[in-house]
Amino acid sequence: MSAALSLQTAMRAALVADSTLTRLLGGAHVFDEMPRGAKPPHVTFEQCETRDWSTATEAGQEHFIQLQVTTAERGRGQAQAVCDRIAGVLDNASLTLAGHTLVNLRLVFWSVARSRSDPTFGATLRFRAATEPN
């Protein structure tokens, strides 16, 4: 399994295992691809960018993972609460990856904004991770 996919799998597992986040989302609504008919609130993995992070003697990769939070709320409260919980679960987490070692995982930023298509709020979170092969 690639380091990026292994990282995403571990991140999703950590998020759906968190009872507070599951309560905020009304279930284990953390998706790689949105199921048809899925109603907000939910979290989706939007973008993963991977770069070589190798040294002269060690292989490694740097990953930027972007999560998208979608709510059905006309206020910022739910989006802020979901972001805060995701940050609490993933920022500096020590996740176990299949075939790779997670060196670190850090929250780079989050942004809460009104949706462009309707009056609800959503959020974007971006994480940076470094991995090495086992």
Give me the number of domains the chain comprises.
1
105 in a structural domain: yes
Going by the DSSP 8-state scheme, the letter that residue 119 receives in this structure is: S
What confidence tier does 3 reach under pLDDT thresholds 50, 70, 90? Answer: very high
Which of 48-57, 75-84, 102-111, 116-125 has the weakest average pLDDT? 116-125
Label residue 25 left, alpha or beta by phi (over 0 means left) and psi (-120 to 50 means alpha). Answer: alpha
129 in a structural domain: no
Q: Is there a contact between 30 and 41 (Cβ–Cβ < 8 Å)?
A: no
What confidence tier does 59 reach under pLDDT thresholds 50, 70, 90? Answer: very high
Residues above pLDDT 70, as percent of the chain: 100
d(CA 27, CA 19): 9
123 in a structural domain: no
Residue 118 above 90 pLDDT? no
Angle at alpha carbon of residue 69, lines to 130 and 72, rounded to 5°: 175
Q: Is there a contact between 68 and 54 (Cβ–Cβ < 8 Å)?
A: no
Which of 16-30, 56-70, 84-98, 107-121 has the weakest average pLDDT? 107-121
How high does pLDDT run on average in the chain?
A: 95
User: How far is C-alpha 126 from the geometric centre of its chain's CA atoms?
Assistant: 7
134 in a structural domain: no
Residue 86 above 90 pLDDT? yes
The token pair at 51 is: 């770069």
Residue 116 above 90 pLDDT? no
125 in a structural domain: no
- Domain extent for 50: 3-33+40-112
